[in-house]
Amino acid sequence: MTYLPSKKVNIGGITYIIYGLLHDHPLISLSKEFKNAINEELKGHNVICEDGFVDWISNSISFNELKHLNLNKFSFFNLIKTLKGYLYNKYIIKSHKTNFAKQVQRIKTIDDFLIIRKELLKSYSKEPEGMNFLLLENNNGTLDNSNGKLPLRVRRYLFEASESMRYAISSQLKELIIVVGCAHELPLEYLLSNPDIVKYHQSLHNI
């Protein structure tokens, strides 16, 4: 799997390989051709992934974030409404030269995806600055000194890191592939490289 760019973290005798990809959203559906190409790339490997990938990565297991983070149907519906509004405003109304949704729907191959991925990565913050910004924005301190309720996005990152480590250790794996949305790639790389921060939040927030 040299084709897909990834982040690798080696810790505790386990190699975690993080792939930041795109998945379906309320306004965006990826092509079967792209999904099949990714499935072929990951075939035969141990894969854990966000809920949105498990249906088309055949050998994967899901984080089951909706269940574990208590995102009931009502709150998840509100989350989807917010996401639809965000995508519509940012990528459809405000963009006169490009239409992000249409670009994504035209992805057929991994090469097509890499072009969009390159542009997306320009908009992501380095870590831990990105997660700390979300915390400070809500007056919740910082990652290593939290003093309140965590924003949902940070809770998700922490849960994904925690569950990846738990699964790899309990299954006695030497290597685990983690498939998440592009925006999760850098936060997970940071958290897996700093497991003490994950343990700190596990004790505080029962993640």
Per-block average pLDDT, block size 10, for the chain (207 residues)? 84 97 82 95 95 92 85 54 56 52 86 90 93 91 87 93 97 98 96 96 81
In tens, the pLDDT along 31-43 reads: 999 999 999 999 9
The domain segmentation of the chain, as residue ranges, is: 7-72+104-205
Alpha-carbon dihedral 104, 62, 69, 19, rounded to 10 degrees: -50
Q: Judge residue 69's burial from the number of C-beta atoms within 10 Å of its C-beta, 0-12 exposed, 13-18 middle, 19 or more buried.
A: middle
CA distance 150 to 101: 30
Q: Answer yes or no: pTM beyond 0.75.
A: yes
What mean pLDDT, rounded, does the chain reach?
86
Q: How many helices (H) and strands (E) are present in the chain, helices listed first?
A: 9, 7
